[in-house]
Every structure is written in C-alpha cells, then in structure tokens.
Amino acid sequence: MKAYLKSAEGFFVLNKSTTIGRHKDSDLVLESKDIDNHHALIEYNEAEGSFVLQDFNSRNGTFVNECHIQNVAVKLLPGDILRFGSEGLTYELVIENSPSVSFPWVRGPARWPGPQPPRATQQPNQSPLPPQTPFHPGIRPTPVQKSWSQGCSRSNVAPPASHKRPMSACGKMFSFVVESTSRSPVIKQVWTNATELLEQSVAEGIPGTAPSREIYVEQDLAQQNKDEVILLLGSEVSRLSEFELESKYKDAVIASLQNELACLSQKLLETSASGAEGLSPQKLPVLDEDLDANQREIQSLKSQVSALQQGYSQVLCQTLSERNSEITSLKNEGENLRRDNAISSGMVSSLQKEVLAKDEQVQQLKQEVNQLKSENKEKDHQLEALSSKVSVRRHGLRVCLGPKSSRLPWHLGALCPVPKGMGRTAAGG
C-alpha cells in the first residue's frame, strides 16, 4: 500500500518509517525555523493497516486537521491535513488502495468490556444515543479540544469547523481516581487508550466524549475528604453538562446532514433518470471512446509516476555510491597524512637531538677556545717577563764589557736581543 504526502511543492513518498525534522539525516527535511531537528515520525502500523504520527515533544507541535498535538501518537486516516510547526506547508495524506475504514461512532451501543470497579461509582444522568445514520464521506465528527496543563485535561466546547482531526488524534486521555487514606484522598492518574474511551462513551450513550471520572468514596471518609469529593463531583457535573450541550449540537448537525443527504439523493436520482432518458444510442460510442481515452491517460500517468520513482531511486543509489567512494578516498588521504605526520615528527625529533648535540659541542669548543686564550695570555706575559730579563742582562753585559761587547759571539747577541728602547738608552748613556 503506497502513501504520499501531497503539498503545493509536489508529492513525497512515505516509507514504513519516515522521520521529519530540520536535521539533514531526516527523510523529510524542513528548513523552517519553528521545526525541531527531530520533529516527528510517521510509521506504518501493519497490525492495524494504518499510519501513525508521533510528535517528539517539539516546541511548536504538530497540527492534524488544524488540531494541535504534542508528544502524543495519532492514528492517521486518508485525507488528513498535516502541518509541522506553527508555520509552513500543509500536507494531505493520500493512500492508494486504502482499506475500508470502520468508524466506531456510528455503531450501536455495546457493553463496556473493561473491568467494573469494586467500589460504588457516582455518574450523572446519561443522555440517550442519537439515531444511527450511515457515515457520509468527507464529514467527520467534531471532537472535544483538550488543553493540557500539569497533566490534567480540561474540556472546552469546540466551535463547528469544516476539518478536524480524527478521533485517534485525541491521544491518551486519563481519569482521576480518589482512594481513601487515613488523612486525605490520593489522586491517581489512570491512563486509557483513546479507542477504549470511544467505545465506553458509545456504550454509556455519550457520543464523542471521554469517560467520566470515577470517584470511589469510602463510607468512613472524614468531612474534609467528603468536601473535596463534592468539589470533584461538581467539576465533573459541569464537564458533563458541556458534553451534553455538544451532544445536542451534534444531534442537530446529524439531522441537518440527513436532510441534506436525502435532498442530494433525490437530486441524484432525478439527474440519473433525466440523463438516462437524454442518452441516445449515438452518444454511447462517444462516451466509450472518452472513457477509453481517460483510462489510457491514467495508465500513462501511472507509468510516468513509476518511471519517476525508479529514476529517483537510481539517482539516490548513484549519489550514495559517489559519497561512499568520496568517503573512502578521504579516509585513504587521511591515513597517508597521518603516516606523513608520523614520519615528519620522527625527523623533527631526530633533528632536534642533533641540534642539541651540536650545541653541546659548540659549548665545549667555546670553553676550549677560552681556555687556550687564557693560556696564550699567560704565555705572552711569561715571554714579556723573560724578554725584559734578557734585555736587562744584555744591557748589563754591555755596560760591563764596554768596547768588548762587539766581540761577543753572534749567538749571544741573537739569544739576547736588545729591545729598541733599551738600545737607544744604552747608546745615549
């Protein structure tokens, strides 16, 4: 069974599980600002043969037939109008070869299958069922809009509208059960499925309403507990009075629809009779040809749709293969870069070690050079001292020998050279 979401931009084919949101991995990506990343899910329920819409507690919620839902699961019917967020496009659910849908609100009264409470229950007067009428296509009952606040349901009479969400859109209702304790009553939340609530409301004679709150009262309750129970009963009576008004309104709507249906049936009979009388044997072949042409056009459109779907699947497969190849190439490139990075890191570390070794050698050479410089300075000082001593002794020898100084061996003069200053001083003396 194929299903589509029809909008102004075209058709979107639904899968067994279709995710809606702003995230790029969603099946239906909506770029609106009031859409969450993971907004909602449309899933096919094979047991019931229908689609179920689940809202993921989004900020702005989801609208089914202009009825706001949030963090609940809703059963969808063909023709439902969906809108995700407070703004954006509207989508119509289109289902091909959809099975016949049974509507429990047009059935006769049935006995409530749920277990009966062991304690005494207080219920207001029940209004009789409206007359049973066949369901008219395109007309849906008007459910009671619920405004949820701190886990408590408050009913408001909904104005008549052309489109409302189906009864499955009511989500989960709950009733209050008051149990007696030693001090004060404890209120528990008893959750009930929307289908069970619908069957119970039909069995009790209140169409389209949720079950009344069951209040179990112990005989030995204190006076304060009784006052609280009386307040709860008063609120229950006011709630049921609103349902009674709605039931009367629905009875009037049903009566008007019955009258309209009778008028339309009469007009249809008259039109069909006049059309049958106006048809001539000459026009029948023309009508057959038109019918054949329409059928051929329908077949061509179906073939085009199937071709488009097949082409779309092929494009998706090709895109997926390209992305896979691109991911593989990027992974290989990343591995190569990691390998190069490891090699570069090893080379850098080895070069750093060599630089440190060279620095140590340079420091050692600097120390040796400084040591040699100091040794050279010491030797220069020693040479100066020796040269000064030799010059003094030579001068003394010349003074002592006088003219015989010229007869000194040449090696003594070479060994004891006289400094320039000293020679001039001696000559002057």
CATH fold of 2-96: Tumour Suppressor Smad4 (2.60.200)
CA 326 to chain centre: 26
Model pLDDT, residue 248: 86
Residue of 385, 421, 416 lying closest to 401 (CA atoms): 416
| Element containing residue 32 per DSSP (H, E) | none
- pTM exceeding 0.85: no
Model pLDDT, residue 343: 94
Residue pair 119/216 in contact by the 8 Å Cβ criterion: yes
Q: Which residues pair with 63 in a beta bridge?
A: 68, 83
Distance in angstroms (rounded) separating the CA atoms of residues 359 and 374 = 23
**DSSP-derived secondary structure for 78-106:** TT-EEEESSSS-EEEEEETTPPPPP-GGG
Output DSSP code: residue 404: G
Domain range summary for the chain, segments of one domain joined by +: 2-96
Q: What is the mean pLDDT of each run of 10 residues along the chain (429 residues)?
A: 87 91 91 90 90 92 92 91 89 78 41 41 39 38 36 37 43 39 38 42 45 43 74 85 85 90 90 67 74 90 88 87 92 94 94 95 95 94 94 88 61 47 42
Distance in angstroms (rounded) separating the CA atoms of residues 414 and 408 = 10
